[in-house]
Amino acid sequence: MPEVTQSLAVSIITSNYFLIIIKVAILLILVFYAIFALIIIKQVSSMAKTFVTTISSIFASAAVVNAIFALILIVLAVAIL
């Protein structure tokens, strides 16, 4: 009986199709997160107009920084993957 060098799980994980599916899934998740971060900017600006506080600018800045990091993460993922 011939010796099996790779198990089925290892051959599936190392196949090119599986890796492409994983890469596309990661990029889709990052794109959805970036869209969510942009929606958060809109929501924070609406909140700042409705509910005025002294720290509204801090929330707006945090939302913008979050969106910038999300977009940078997409660029890095495209470059790495």
* pLDDT tops 70 at residue 3: no
End-to-end CA distance of the chain: 40
* Residues 27 and 74: beta-carbon distance below 8 Å: yes
Give me the chain's average pLDDT, please. 89
Prediction pTM value: 0.78
Q: Which residues contact 43 (CB under 8 A, 6 or more apart)?
A: none
pLDDT tens for 5-40 read 667 667 777 778 888 999 999 999 999 999 999 999
Between 5 and 56, name the one with better pLDDT: 56
